Copies of this chain bind each other. A is one copy, B any other.
Amino acid sequence: MSGKVKVAVLGATGMIGQRFVEMLEDHPYFEIEGLYASERSEGKRFGDTLKVRDYNYKQETLDMKISKMDVDHISKACRIAFSGIPSELAGPTETELAQKGVAVFTNAGSHRMDPHVPIIVPEVNTDQFCSIKDQDTYGNGGYIVTNANCSSTGIVVPLRALNDAFGLNEVFVSTYQAISGAGYPGVPSLDIVGNVIPFISHEEEKMETELAKMLGTYADGEFKYAGFKVMANCARVPVIDGHTESLVIDMKESPSIEEVAKVLADFRGEPQKLGLPSAPEQPIIVRAEENRPQPIYDVFAGTPDRARGMASSVGRIRCSNGYYKMWVVSHNTLRGGAGGSMLNAEYAYKKGIL
């Protein structure tokens, strides 16, 4: 008996599911009870479903078999379900699991706008964790916590730091999103090799609402959105992993570039204070070079161990006509996907919410 919390990985043959598995190898709090996916994959060896290029699974993990999703079994065997199910399918399964008493930490978008479901990035808004108590299933021990959309996650930590220090008025963001963000098989190669696709379904709407929800508050049983405006343009580019984002920000105060850089580099949140296993020591890495951050170098930035894809790198902080301009790179399926929910679950564990 390891004494670790048993967890199910849902959607284990997909891009996000496989990142969950990666983060669960030798995890100090959690251990994998089973890998679940659709009936089509039942019985397959995990190693034969690989989608992640830079994988480094143990042999015993590669040899695990995929099981068919079985809500009853999972709810009996596991305290936690990590969900990498595609958003269009995730909703009902996640609801059912929560009803049966499972704590669901999900990357899917299905429940992000539900009245009492929080979107948590624990460097940003652990105060909103309390909303789970208002979920119908909470009495049962079951609840749903979502991580943010990958593009929102990459910039929400820097925005939190800047909002706290200087106040945000308006955020103009253009994204350069990696193809792993579209899952597998995802984007056909004929569509993206040598191309830019300036459209990702519902992505801009998600960014424009999720950021305000996360930087807002939860009180009296409802979420109150933060007051700043977000204008988002989202595009796909031929990059494997790592979203790059161009930011122009109108702030209430007028700090110097150095002050902005210092506030970002010095920012620490709850995961850092609590020493959560997946937390990067420094959630925001500020780059001084004239041409960074870049996905190929910065997607795994930070310590320990290059932060396992959990830090946001910010660079080229400049000011133009009173607006602050900068670039951000983050790992879209780690920080912006599986890593987000992993950190949420670690927070819940550490705070005794499990």
Q: Which residues on A are within 8 Å of B, measured CB to CB? A: 15, 48, 50-51, 53-56, 59, 170, 172, 174, 176, 179-180, 184-199, 204, 208, 229-233, 235, 237-240, 244, 246-248, 289-297, 303, 305-306, 315-316, 320-321, 323, 325, 327
In the assembled complex, the Cα of A186 lies from the Cα of B187 at a distance in Å of 10
In the assembled complex, the Cα of A55 lies from the Cα of B56 at a distance in Å of 15
Q: Do A229 and B184 have beta carbons less than 8 Å apart?
A: no
Given A56-B306, A176-B176, A189-B189, A194 and B196 touching (CB < 8 A)?
no
Nearest residue in B to A239 (C-beta to C-beta)?
B194
Given A184-B188, A186-B188, A291 and B233 touching (CB < 8 A)?
no
Among B188, B246, B292, B295, which residue has its beta carbon within 8 angstroms of that of A188? B188
Leading 3 A-B pairs by shortest Cβ distance = A174-B174, A185-B188, A199-B291
Q: Do A176 and B191 have beta carbons less than 8 Å apart?
A: no
Q: Do A246 and B316 have beta carbons less than 8 Å apart?
A: no
In the assembled complex, the Cα of A191 lies from the Cα of B292 at a distance in Å of 12
Report the minimal beta-carbon distance from A87 to chain B, rounded to whole angstroms: 18
Q: 18 additional contacts, CB 8 Å, given A180-B190, A185-B185, A198-B244?
A: A172-B248, A176-B176, A176-B237, A179-B190, A186-B188, A186-B189, A193-B238, A194-B239, A194-B240, A194-B296, A195-B295, A197-B291, A197-B294, A198-B246, A198-B327, A204-B320, A231-B248, A235-B246
Number of copies: 4
Q: Do B294 and A195 have beta carbons less than 8 Å apart?
A: yes
Report the minimal beta-carbon distance from A198 to chain B, rounded to whole angstroms: 4
Among B231, B244, B291, which residue has its beta carbon within 8 angstroms of that of A320? B231
Report the minimal beta-carbon distance from A306 to chain B, rounded to whole angstroms: 6
Q: Which residues of B contact A195 (CB under 8 A)?
A: 239, 294-296
Given A172-B172, A176-B176, A190 and B197 touching (CB < 8 A)?
no
Q: Which residues of B contact A237 (CB under 8 A)?
A: 176, 196, 237-238
Q: Do A51 and B190 have beta carbons less than 8 Å apart?
A: yes
In the assembled complex, the Cα of A325 lies from the Cα of B231 at a distance in Å of 8
Among B50, B172, B238, which residue has its beta carbon within 8 angstroms of that of A238? B238
In the assembled complex, the Cα of A180 lies from the Cα of B188 at a distance in Å of 11
In the assembled complex, the Cα of A231 lies from the Cα of B247 at a distance in Å of 10
Q: Which residues of B contact A289 (CB under 8 A)?
A: 48
Q: Do B190 and A193 have beta carbons less than 8 Å apart?
A: no
Q: Do B188 and A187 have beta carbons less than 8 Å apart?
A: yes
